[in-house]
Amino acid sequence: MSNIQITSELVDLENLIEKINQREFLIIAADEKILKQLPSGNWIAGSIPYFMGSEGGEISQEKAFVNTIEGVNLNNPPRIMPYDVNSIKNIAQDAPENGFTITILPAGSDIHAEYAENAPSYSNMFFSPIIGWVAGNHLDDANTQAQVGFGTANMLMPDKAIAMHVPLSDSQFANINIVNLFEQGSGPKISFAETGHLVLATLHANNANQALDRIQHFFPADRHNQLWMDLSLNLRALLAQQLLPTADGTGRRAVVEILINTPLVSDLIRKGEVHKIKELMSRSKELGMCTFDQALYELYAEGIITYDDAIASADSKNDLRLMIKLQSETDADYLEQVADNLTVAEDDEDDSFQLFK
């Protein structure tokens, strides 16, 4: 079996149809009016007119962004499968034993919500490499339904997901990472001039929870459910920062709280259960998260900030005091000091020994 490679390009409708007629396996992103003109073939697709081209963000309702799966073994080709809200839980089980899956979901649909909420609990989900994206529409057509394309049946579907399961040869394995092909510009933020949508933003808030609460208060109550859904899907991370004086008085040190939008965090945000996020953060250090109180404790333990400054800046003064006390009572120097103050005395009545402090 030859090795699988994926190539990407922006093409017009004529070239896209030619690729389909050559029976190539394709993942297509294009405006709905393009997708409606495609013949049947080995492709999956999602409606979207927004692309990243060589010059940056690009809007086109005349071109399609196409990933071509090259090196396919026709004796073991990729499988194209649609899923509804009841069968999407099987997507990882349907994946090849050695390979990866590309899936597309229509934005705002029931299956989109089902996947966002429950995907972490699907069987085999953390053992099968899955990548994909969410289909949408031009902002001028915001009231129309997003579509995904099932090329084998030559149909568009607003209420189902589509997946291509791609097997790999024994000499390959799938390793999914995020690759940034572009460099940060000189400006303070990245934006699309046509829409003004912010990609990076700052907000005055003391911590991650307060930042989410402040975002919520920018919107009327009847839009909160949609807001939580949008944030759960699009938020990547929140970083909150305070500057505290160092213990030696020579400067200041940043105390940073980090919230990463993992599947569990996304689920809490989607439900609007922001008050539960802090506890989840405190138990997710291995994922790169850190609460303010944990960051304060680490700086205090390293002698970088004073006890008084740490307690004064804590989200929960009692929790931080307890954290410091528990750690100090398990510190090696403290235990050695306690041991030095212990004496052993023999009890004459039962030949046992007793420890006295």
Residue range of the domain that includes 38: 5-167
Q: Which one, of 123, 128, 130, lies nearest residue 161 by Cα? A: 130
Check whether residue 39 and residue 104 sit in a common domain: yes
Task: Report yes or no on 9 lying in a domain.
Answer: yes
The token duo for 125 is 């989900």
Is residue 201 situated within a structural domain? Answer: no
159 and 212 share one domain: no
Shared domain check, 155 and 217: no
pLDDT score of 355: 47
* 95 lies in the same domain as 235: no
Position of tokens 């499968």?
A: 81
Per-residue pLDDT reduced to its tens digit, 81-135: 999 999 999 999 999 989 999 999 999 899 998 998 888 888 888 788 899 999 9
Q: For residue 138, what are the CA distances in angstroms to 51, 195, 197, 331?
A: 11, 11, 13, 59
Q: For the residues of 142-165, what is the DSSP string, one character each?
A: TTSPP-EEETTTTEEESS-EEEEE
Contact 238, 202 (CB under 8 A): no
Q: Radius of gyration of the chain from Cα atoms?
A: 27
Q: 18: Cβ–Cβ under 8 A, 6 or more apart, which residues?
A: none
* CA–CA dist 82, 44 (Å, integer): 10
Residue 258 placed within a domain: yes
Tell whether 202 is covered by a domain: no
For residue 68, CA distances in Å to 2, 5, 22, 56, 128 come to: 15, 8, 12, 21, 21
CB-based contact 66:27 (threshold 8 Å)? yes
Does 263 fall in a domain?
A: yes
Q: From CA 145, how far away is CA 260, in angstroms rounded?
A: 30
* 50-64, 118-132, 333-347: least confidently modelled range: 333-347
Q: Is residue 244 part of a domain?
A: yes
Of the residues 167, 199, 229, the one at which a domain ends: 167
**Single-letter amino acid, residue 42:** N
In this structure, is residue 20 part of a structural domain? yes
Domain count, the chain: 2
For the chain, the average pLDDT equals 84
Distance CA 155, CA 168 (A): 27
Cα distance between residue 349 and residue 352, in whole Å: 8
pLDDT score of 193 = 46
Please identify, among 167, 196, 229, the residue that sits at the C-terminal boundary of a domain.
167
Q: Cα separation of 2 and 22, whole Å? A: 19
Please check whether residues 22 and 84 belong to one and the same domain: yes
179 pLDDT more than 70: no
Report the distance separating Cα 10 and Cα 16, nearest Å.
9
What are 334's two structure tokens?
A: 């403290």
- Residues 214 and 274 placed together within one structural domain of the fold: yes
Domain identity same for 36 and 160: yes
Amino acid letter, 121: S
Both 244 and 158 in one domain: the answer is no
Query: What's the CATH number where 300 sits?
Result: 3.40.50.300
What's the pLDDT tens digit per position in 284-320? 999 999 999 999 999 999 999 999 999 988 888 898 8
Q: How far is CA 146 from CA 17, 47, 63, 117, in A?
A: 22, 6, 17, 19
